[in-house]
Structure 1
Amino acid sequence: MLLVQFCVVNNIIDKLKSKILNIDISKYASSRNFKNGHVSKLSPYISKGVISTKFVIETIFQNKTEYRKSEKFFQELAWRDYWQKKWQMSPNIDVDLSFNQKPVAHRNLPKNVLDANTKISAIDNAIKEFYNTGYLHNHMRMYIAAICCNVGQYHWLNPAKWMYYHLIDGDWGSNALSWQWVAGTTRQKKYIANQENINKYFFTNDKNTFMDKSYENLYSFNNIPASLTHQKTIQLNTILPKKIKPIVDDSKPTFIYNSYNLDPNWYLNEAGNRILLLEPSHFKSYPVSEKVMDFIITLSSQIKDIQIAAMEFNELQDIIKNCNSIHYKEHPFARHYKGIKTERDWIFPDLEADGSFFKYWNKGIKQFNY
């Protein structure tokens, strides 16, 4: 069911291009925050590096789409690049980025959120679906983060790792920094939505929940609801494929793929050893569910003659005699790789994310040719 839902098929790039061209861009801006909104569901393929944000935008404008109609969609893709570039500039995004989160009362996870038992019907139903499918609406992600961090006063890191574990489109940069944005550590402002807002966008009619309060009351941070005081510690583990030594032809270059680079067009016409590297140390620090790992491996099958190596980079390096022939794509999780680095594609390639998003956006859009 999962593989059908997320359209993993032969000629995946052509299929995704067709999917992009069929997005109703004009309805995206007005409906994207609603449960049944017109969203693209391209995120799993972008986060896993099958396609880039640049590819999506170029495809849209090749279709002669008016900029005015596509601006909000364009902006959301730019947010993804912005978080990735913030991550490039930051040695460690697992700590509070610019400001300390406060107040913080808990360091684990709220039990009733994990158990889908908040008594807020939209939240509980979304979490149950999330466990089954790996899909979570972007607006719902913000609601859950706000409940954990700002209502329950849980530090953002462990709840963010729980969400990342289950997300089919998990991207630690966007996920961690979005949680930090909600918790007020990227700026001195927190995000909160009340029950009225949740009811509006998810078509519910809940009343008398712990979120059924005014914004003034919620933003006071005076009292943690009793139902959010029960903490839970969970063990998140990744099931990796069996460790098999890859076969390497030393006369050819070696192209290293990982869970963030599954681009089937990367060096497509060059013969070489193609290896999906799944490092145990990485997945110990940033575990993913069995559904997510299955999705990664299924996507990798679109890359011709790919071999899977569940080992550390230095172990693989010992197998490859000609280390100067190693190619990989730039990514913060690949900082320890050695070899010839390919830069990722960006919408605004020459810009750094050294200020606010809208500073980044306003500079970039002036330079963009569409």
Structure 2
Amino acid sequence: MNFPTNLSDVYERIDQFDPELYARTRNFVKGGVSYLSPYLSRGFITVPQVVKRLKDRGIGLEQAEKFIQELAWREFYTRTWFQKGDGIFEDIRHPQEGVLYSGMPAAVLDANTGIKALDSHLGTFSVSGYLHNHLRMYLAAITCNVGKYHWKAPASWLYYHLLDGDLASNALSWQWCVGTFSNKQYYVNQVNVNTYTGTGQRDTFLDFDYEDLPLQAVPEVLRSSVEAELAFTAPPTKTPVLQEGVPTFIYTHYTLDPTFHESEAGNRILVLEPSHFAKYPMAPKTIQFILDLAANIPGIQVFYGEYAELNVKGIFRDHPINAHFQGIREEHPSLAPGLPGEFNSFFSFWNKLSKQLR
């Protein structure tokens, strides 16, 4: 799947998306998914913008409910990040059960788990930067619940390579799968894999009934543990030149909306902080994708350095990664502005949100 970086192409992708086909087929690897996640993760488009474009086509909540519910998962995860901060990077409710290994299985890095439908996608993942959501769930189930690895190292590896890598969606999805942010661990069997990937493989370590899967020993193929190398290459940068007498608009790799104050004159700076990438590195192709998206913002300057070094009080859109920024903080785009409360589960959040949307 290609991911163009021109805003007009992304708008066209939204306008051609069929939410009813999505509702019927989204769980299939070749189903009618939107392929909007890299743009939503970067804030290049926002969830309210997508919903508005659907409404402009006459598509309301009834027709698009399943898709909007999936968008709401993203909002729920971001909301949890706002509320818990760095707590999302630790086991949230209770420690992960049954952990035997650290690092991650060498078989995953080698695309050699023996589950052919997964391996075929893992083999191209470092180039494509994309995995269907069901494949991500399969990966988490196999690595952590079958293979007994703690979720943090595999999650960091996945985030590193994903074009749509969102720290909250990634960490909390892994925690949902391993049961530290849900009520039980997620398992997948071979019948499920075959159904949603169009394969017919049998006699694998997943070829059991669901109730029998947790009783199996860790497959030999998953027992070799390695530490993934997540090297970060800093983007080219120079000290921004600031025009006096105009505001300075600040962007991050999560808040790249080209429509942000687009009609106003001002300095525009994409800030990529070394302290952030030291903790959460990204692959070079993902950094280039971010820079290509930023090129849609006229006059933007890229600064690889700490925000405080700029010595400005910029105007920026609120997001958990810029909680330490000083300046004018504008509201994070939301389907549920002003919706109060901290929600322990997605569906408690969705029940209130859906009433507000109606």
TM-score if structure 1 supplies the norm length? 0.93
Aligned residue runs from structure 1 range 301-316, under 5 A: 301-316=295-310
> Aligned partners of 2:47, 2:203: CA distance in 1, in Å?
41
CA contact (8 A) 1:99 1:187 kept: no
Q: Alignment identity in percent?
A: 43
Return the match for 2:332 from 322, 325, 344. Answer: 344
Secondary structure of the 1:82 match is helix
Aligned residue for 1:291?
A: 285
CA contact (8 A) 1:99 1:188 kept: no
Structure 2 residues not aligned, in runs of 5+: none
> Aligned partners of 2:244, 2:343: CA distance in 1, in Å?
42
> Aligned partners of 1:258, 1:363: CA distance in 2, in Å?
30
Return the match for 1:334 from 303, 314, 322. Answer: 322
Query: 1:275 aligned to 2:269?
Result: yes
Return the match for 1:266 from 260, 265, 268. Answer: 260
Deviation of residue 131 (structure 1)? 1.5
Aligned residue for 1:363?
A: 352
Amino acid at match of 1:7: P
CA contact (8 A) 2:249 2:269 kept: yes
Deviation of residue 112 (structure 1)? 0.1
Aligned residue runs from structure 1 range 108-123, under 5 A: 108-123=103-118
Deviation of residue 262 (structure 1)? 0.7
| Count of aligned pairs | 356
Aligned residue for 1:39?
A: 33
Aligned residue for 1:25?
A: 19
CA contact (8 A) 1:108 1:233 kept: yes
> Aligned partners of 2:135, 2:252: CA distance in 1, in Å?
28
Aligned residue runs from structure 1 range 61-100, under 5 A: 61-92=55-86, 93-100=88-95
Could you list the per-position Cα deviations for residues 80-123 of structure 1 after superposition, in whole angstroms to 9, with x for gaps in the alignment? 10111011110321100112111111120111011100111111
> Aligned partners of 2:277, 2:198: CA distance in 1, in Å?
37
Secondary structure of the 1:327 match is strand
- After superposition, the Cα gap between the structure-2 partners of 1:52 and 1:218, relative to the gap in structure 1 and judged at 3 Å, is same
Deviation of residue 66 (structure 1)? 4.3
CA contact (8 A) 2:235 2:287 kept: no
> Aligned partners of 2:356, 2:346: CA distance in 1, in Å?
16
Amino acid at match of 1:355: N
Return the match for 2:153 from 155, 158, 174. Answer: 158
> Aligned partners of 1:353, 1:50: CA distance in 2, in Å?
27
Amino acid at match of 1:334: N
> Aligned partners of 1:94, 1:107: CA distance in 2, in Å?
16
> Aligned partners of 2:90, 2:275: CA distance in 1, in Å?
19
> Aligned partners of 2:178, 2:152: CA distance in 1, in Å?
10
Deviation of residue 21 (structure 1)? 2.1
CA contact (8 A) 1:257 1:275 kept: yes
CA contact (8 A) 1:241 1:310 kept: yes
Aligned residue for 1:105?
A: 100
CA contact (8 A) 1:279 1:311 kept: yes
CA root-mean-square deviation? 1.3
> Aligned partners of 1:129, 1:24: CA distance in 2, in Å?
27
Return the match for 2:199 from 197, 204, 212. Answer: 204
Aligned residue runs from structure 1 range 165-314, under 5 A: 165-220=160-215, 222-314=216-308
> Aligned partners of 1:339, 1:225: CA distance in 2, in Å?
53
Amino acid at match of 2:254: Y
> Aligned partners of 2:285, 2:236: CA distance in 1, in Å?
17
**Further displaced range: 208-217 or 295-304:** 208-217
Q: Which runs of 4+ in 1 moved over 6 A?
A: none
> Aligned partners of 2:232, 2:247: CA distance in 1, in Å?
30
> Aligned partners of 2:13, 2:243: CA distance in 1, in Å?
37
Amino acid at match of 1:364: L
- After superposition, the Cα gap between the structure-2 partners of 1:32 and 1:269, relative to the gap in structure 1 and judged at 3 Å, is same
Structure 1 residues not aligned, in runs of 5+: none
TM-score if structure 2 supplies the norm length? 0.96
Return the match for 1:126 from 115, 121, 128. Answer: 121
> Aligned partners of 1:362, 1:106: CA distance in 2, in Å?
38
Deviation of residue 353 (structure 1)? 4.4
Secondary structure of the 1:239 match is coil
> Aligned partners of 2:229, 2:114: CA distance in 1, in Å?
25
- After superposition, the Cα gap between the structure-2 partners of 1:314 and 1:67, relative to the gap in structure 1 and judged at 3 Å, is closer
Deviation of residue 31 (structure 1)? 0.5
Deviation of residue 78 (structure 1)? 0.6
Deviation of residue 15 (structure 1)? 3.4
> Aligned partners of 2:79, 2:155: CA distance in 1, in Å?
19
